[in-house]
Amino acid sequence: MEVKECTTCGANLEAEDSFVIFPCPDCGEEKIARCERCKKIGNEYECDNCGFTGP
C-alpha cells in the first residue's frame, strides 16, 4: 500500500517537504504516515489495523 496522506490530518504528503512513513509500532502491519506539522505538535494517530495510538 502506498501512503499518500498524513494518517492524522489527511494532508497530501506529495505536497509536503518533510514527512515520515513507518510501520505501526504495535502490529507492524499498517503504515503510519506523519506530516511535519503533526510530528511537531504531537497530534495523535491511530493504526487502522490494531487500534494502537501514538503521538
Cα–Cα distance, 4 to 10 (Å, whole number): 9
Q: Count the domains in the chain.
A: 1
Q: How many CB atoms lie within 10 A of CB 21?
A: 14
In a domain, 49, yes or no: yes
What are the pLDDT digits (tens) for 1-55?
477 999 999 999 988 889 999 999 999 999 999 999 999 999 999 999 999 999 8
In a domain, 29, yes or no: yes
In a domain, 4, yes or no: no
The whole model's pTM is what? 0.85
In a domain, 25, yes or no: yes
Asked if residues 45 and 38 have their Cβ atoms less than 8 Å apart, the reply is: yes
In a domain, 7, yes or no: no
In a domain, 27, yes or no: yes
Provide the residue range defining the domain that includes 34: 13-54
Show the cell assigned to 24: 505501526
In a domain, 38, yes or no: yes
Cα–Cα distance, 48 to 33 (Å, whole number): 12
Cα–Cα distance, 1 to 37 (Å, whole number): 23
> Coil, strand, or helix at residue 23?
strand
